[in-house]
Amino acid sequence: MVKESQHIEFKPNFNEDVIETLVAFANAKGGKILVGVDDKGKPIKSFIIGKESTQNWINEVKTKTQPQIIPDCEIIDYNGSKIAEFSIQEYPIKPISTRGKCFKRVGNSNHLLSVGEIANEHLKTINSSWDMYPDPIHSLDDISFDKVNKSMEMLKHNGVTINESTLPFLSKYDLLRDGRPTNAAYLMFKTADSGSTIIELGRFQDPITIKDTARTKSDILTQVDEVLNYIKKHINLEVIITGNAQNIQKWQYPMEAIREIVLNMIIHRDYHSSSDSIVKIFNDKIEFYNPGRLPDTISIEDLLSNNYKSTPRNKKIAEFFKDLGLIEKYGSGIQRVIGYFKDENLPLPEFKNISDGFQVTVYASNMEKKTRKGSEKTTEKTTEKTTEKTTEKILRLIIDNPQISQDKIAETIGITADGVFWNIKKLKAKGLIKRIGSDKGGYWKIIEK
């Protein structure tokens, strides 16, 4: 039996609700409306279709929508009765409105779009995003050219050819338009702290007891390290005694995954929203809340199965972060996060839309409950396993970027510089890697076995 869904709606009569639903379908993935049917899917005997009804209905839809849409309308036999079937495809130019309002189909109901959602729908239609447009409030005086130059050096280090001075560079990257910084440029290079990028940070003893709080209002490039440093300050660090000159340090959570979550939070945040990003650290979990829900076309199931096409909310920011080497490619971050937690045999993170945003919750391994006692054999086995994982991660980083520094390796993996030094020493001793050239200008060579 046919039921109401993302693409099907029942209406007892033709009225304004039918037009609203056609608009909602046109702003989503299209759909059909069966007119002359009650909400349980049964035909209404009293529904009457006149000789000119079909054309009159189509004309009314056309005159009451902007841009005008023209649905298909057929009279069909439905369970022994004549009803009207309206169908509309997804419209290429969005959003469509009726009586000054825009609707979009979400699940089996029509969602009234907010001003911000209307703007985003239009920007997606023209393959653009909010962060690509000139900032109407701030000027070049609000941009730190030192921060721009620092990013230019990072790009050069990642192999990007840059021959321009600062202003031409900003123009080349579409970060400067009509003499004004774009929204992306302001968020990444702003001179002073401001409320547009607030991230609230908190360490909680329990859901209502706060042990420590902080707030960052910096530019979004600086915020990556600020948030990560705050998290490291408030999570456990386990020291594994190996019997060698250097011991191994293991964080309560895989720091590669935490870094990926923080990057996604900053890059994909809805900076239109009046809400702030929030990071809550508890004894056994961390909650990351970010303004901006998943797109209606992507479900949590799609996210977990990697069955979706990535469409960054802030295209210019995502592009620039990628060129800086801070992210690998669009749409792969969630799978890497899940993979890191699987590698550490930790509970998988939880992802959900909540209120007007998106929340990721990660869970610890309850390190404080792990016994420190046991046989020397068990300790040796655990140490060997952990060391092997760390060396594998270092090898992967070196393969991806032979010029990578030991400091960068330490930052990415989440261990100390001494820990990196010790693991690289072991890789050299095994004949797996070799340093070519100086510490600054040289590179790592993988020795084939």
Residue 294 near residue 303, CB atoms below 8 Å: yes
Average pLDDT for residues 183-201, to the nearest whole number? Answer: 96
196-369 is a CATH 3.30.460.20 domain? no
Q: Backbone phi, then psi, for 318, in 5-degree steps?
A: -60, -40
Which of 373-387, 406-420, 430-444 shows the lowest mean pLDDT across its residues? 373-387
Q: Where are the alpha helices (DSSP H) in 126-233?
A: 145-157, 166-172, 183-189, 220-233
Residue 184 near residue 132, CB atoms below 8 Å: yes
Q: Is the pLDDT of residue 257 over 80?
A: yes
**Amino acid 241: pLDDT:** 65
Q: Is the pLDDT of residue 110 over 60?
A: yes
The domains of the chain are located at 8-112, 130-192, 196-369, 376-446
Q: At what angle do helices 417-429 and 406-413 cross, to 10 degrees?
A: 110
CATH architecture observed for domain 376-446: Orthogonal Bundle (1.10)
Q: Is the pLDDT of residue 21 over 50?
A: yes
Question: What gap in Å lies between CA 402 and CA 395, rounded to an integer?
Answer: 10
CATH architecture observed for domain 8-112: 2-Layer Sandwich (3.30)
What pLDDT digit, counting tens, does each position of 23-62 carry?
A: 999 998 899 999 999 988 999 988 999 989 999 999 999 9
Question: What gap in Å lies between CA 84 and CA 141, rounded to an integer?
Answer: 61
Q: Backbone phi, then psi, for 425, in 5-degree steps?
A: -60, -40
**Helix/strand/coil for 142:** helix
**Amino acid 388: pLDDT:** 52
- Residue 56 neighbours by CB under 8 Å, 6+ apart: none
Structure tokens at 276: 């702030």
What pLDDT digit, counting tens, does each position of 366-396 carry?
A: 544 343 333 334 434 444 444 456 788 888 8
What pLDDT digit, counting tens, does each position of 334-354 carry?
A: 888 999 999 888 999 999 999
Q: How would residue 416 be classed by pLDDT, with cut points 50, 70 and 90?
A: confident
pTM above 0.95, yes or no: no
What pLDDT digit, counting tens, does each position of 261-273 carry?
A: 999 999 999 998 8
Question: What gap in Å lies between CA 386 and CA 369, rounded to an integer?
Answer: 19
